[in-house]
Amino acid sequence: MNIFTIPNILSLIRIPILIIVIYFIKENNKGLTLFFLIIAVITDILDGYIARKNKMETDLGKILDHVVDKIFFNSVAFFLYLFRGLPLYFVLILFMRDLISLFFGYIIFKRGKIIASNLSGKVAGFSLSLLFIFYLFDLPYKTYFLYISLTLLIFASFVYFTVFIIFWKKTSEVKRNLL
């Protein structure tokens, strides 16, 4: 299996982009921060699109995309907390949510499955991107976007947890029937 596919490379490119975004947040260069945030969002959209369109979807690609997204969002949130006033409680909730998500994802992976992204997770990720822009530019109504993003994150977490429970029950039943 070739791990150096275009979708995987697009996922990995977000790591150096993240370093650039953090640098420009720290330097208070809003225009270049926004530019590289947009590049990161485009690479995130393209990796999945290219993988699906060209039948290049792999378990590694799904895992890589999720892990890079979590690293990216949490890092940007932390630096927006440090330099642009994003509330610490939001950063901690995002971090705990993603840590728990990775834990449950690992459990499911050990049972032979990977839960793919769904619409609720994509909408929550999009709202996070908008929230970052609102805090980056200190726009009015950023607090409303904070609560909207928080609500969407909680909803997406509930959806993923429900999927986890359903999968857990199904795999438990299969194990019992095999014994």
- CB contact at 8 A, 164 and 104: yes
pLDDT greater than 90 at residue 118: no
Average pLDDT in the chain: 92
Mean pLDDT of 6-34: 97
CA separation for the pair 172, 166 (Å, rounded):
10
At residue 173 the predicted structure's pLDDT band, cuts being 50, 70 and 90, is: low
- Tell me, yes or no, whether 130 lies in a domain: yes
Mean pLDDT of 150-158: 95
The total of structural domains in the chain comes to 1
Mean pLDDT of 133-140: 96
What digits encode the pLDDT tens for the residues 42-75?
A: 999 999 899 999 998 888 898 999 999 999 999 9
- Tell me, yes or no, whether 86 lies in a domain: yes
How far apart, in Å, do the first and last CA atoms of the chain sit?
A: 33
- Tell me, yes or no, whether 1 lies in a domain: no
- Tell me, yes or no, whether 64 lies in a domain: yes
pLDDT greater than 90 at residue 82: yes
DSSP codes joined into one string, 78-106: HHHHHHH---HHHHHHHHHHHHHHHHHHH
3-state helix, strand, coil in the chain (%, to 5): 85, 0, 15
Q: Is 116 helix (H, G, I), strand (E, B) or coil?
A: coil
Q: Residue 59's domain is classified under what CATH number?
A: 1.20.120
pLDDT greater than 90 at residue 108: no
Q: Which of 37, 39, 38, 47 is nearest to 9 (CA)?
A: 47
Residue 137 DSSP symbol: T
pLDDT greater than 80 at residue 116: no
Four-residue CA torsion sign, 154, 105, 13, 56: negative
pLDDT greater than 60 at residue 140: yes
Q: Range of 64's domain? A: 6-178
CA separation for the pair 9, 146 (Å, rounded):
31
Radius of gyration of the chain (CA): 17
